[in-house]
Amino acid sequence: MAAGGNGGPSREDLDALGEKLAEHERRQAGEERRRRRRAASPYGFGFRLVTELVAGVAAGFLGGWALDRWLGTSPWFVLLLTPMGMAAGILNVVRAARSAEGERHLDAIAAAEEEARKGSGKKE
């Protein structure tokens, strides 16, 4: 470490230290992202899928009920919009399952099953 004009570290030493610190922070952030990705629960993803389905059905039913009350046409809009809400909910579930998050969860489940298979093979 070369001394600067006032007996402290030189500008080059401080720049090199800053670069090392920035690199270390980038590595830590990457490790944190990987750790969070591994910690994502399949139960959370399943809950999201169920919520998508229930929300679609509820939106169709409540929309039909509100229109029926407003227009006095009971039960026609409920009968029309509830199946449409079901279809929308199912479509949202399919989209979510095919999303990148769904692929990641499926990959994580497959990796865990493979690891369990390898682990049970070593014990035998």
CA dist., res. 76 & res. 92, Å (int): 25
| 1 has a pLDDT exceeding 70 | no
| 2 has a pLDDT exceeding 70 | no
CA dist., res. 91 & res. 78, Å (int): 20
Helix then strand then coil, in percent of the chain rounded to 5, is 85, 0, 15
pTM assigned to the model:
0.54
Report which residue type is found at 117: R
| 119 has a pLDDT exceeding 80 | no
pLDDT in tens, 19-32: 988 888 888 887 77
Which pLDDT does position 124 carry in this prediction?
A: 43
Prior bond of 42 cis (ω within 30°) = no
pLDDT in tens, 8-64: 788 888 888 889 888 888 888 877 777 666 656 777 788 888 999 999 999 999 999
